[in-house]
Amino acid sequence: MLATKTLHSVEDMERTPKPEASGGYELDEGELIYMSPNSMEQWEIIHRCYHLLQDFVEAHTLGFVLADTWFEILPGVVRAPDVAFVPRAAWKPELDPKHALKVVPALMVEVLASSDPELSRKIALESSARPARTPRDLSKRLRQYLEAGVLQVWVLDPDEGEADVYAAGSLRTLTTKDRLEAPAILPGFSVSVARLFE
């Protein structure tokens, strides 16, 4: 007999106490999932990527760059990408910064890293959440991003020194010899993939 899942609302997720060991929660089709905290290596890449995008976006008044922020991208789906860009035209005055933002970013960035699977399982059990950061979870996350209307997703892999660029119906893998660009979203933005992993 299959176990039934407890479905949660966005409000339930927002009220769930933060785990004592750090990390946080997301909502996957109503299922609460535990996201392990970022490693130092992962955080350095996120920080670098955030600042490179933020400096460019601010200089050209293009919109907003956010890190580790909840976005309600589909019904019952709240994700907190490592970095996200929301164009100024998509930003609505009624968005409440104290809650999951009901807007779909044009660009999302995820940084891969290893985590402690035992700690993730322990915290997930304590909170009745499912641990995330598995290959299956990443695949589902990418599908949800693109289904919601995200134009491009960058998945940065520090172990391989690669950036996978996902868009509707396409995938390109860039190496440290390539440049990461998004002309349809951020015209003029260009950064060496190697710069992200320095």
User: Do 111 and 49 meet the contact criterion of CB atoms below 8 Å apart?
Assistant: yes
User: Do 91 and 192 meet the contact criterion of CB atoms below 8 Å apart?
Assistant: no
Q: 38-113+134-196 — its CATH code?
A: 3.90.1570.10
pTM score, two decimals? 0.85
Q: What's residue 136's pLDDT? A: 64
Q: How many CB atoms lie within 10 A of CB 55?
A: 12
Q: Give the three-state DSSP class for 81.
A: coil
Can you give the pLDDT of all 198 residues of the chain as single tens digits?
A: 455 677 877 887 778 877 777 788 888 888 888 887 888 889 999 999 999 999 999 999 999 999 999 999 999 999 999 999 999 999 998 998 899 999 999 999 999 875 544 544 454 445 454 455 555 678 899 999 999 999 999 999 998 999 999 998 899 999 999 999 999 999 999 999 999 998
Q: What's residue 4's pLDDT? A: 61
The distance from CA 25 to its chain's CA centroid, rounded to whole angstroms, is 12
Q: What's residue 187's pLDDT? A: 97
Q: What is the C-alpha separation between 131 and 81, in angstroms, rounded?
A: 16
First to last CA, the chain: 50
Q: Which whole-number Å values give the CA distances from 134 to 25, 144, 156, in the listed order?
A: 15, 15, 15
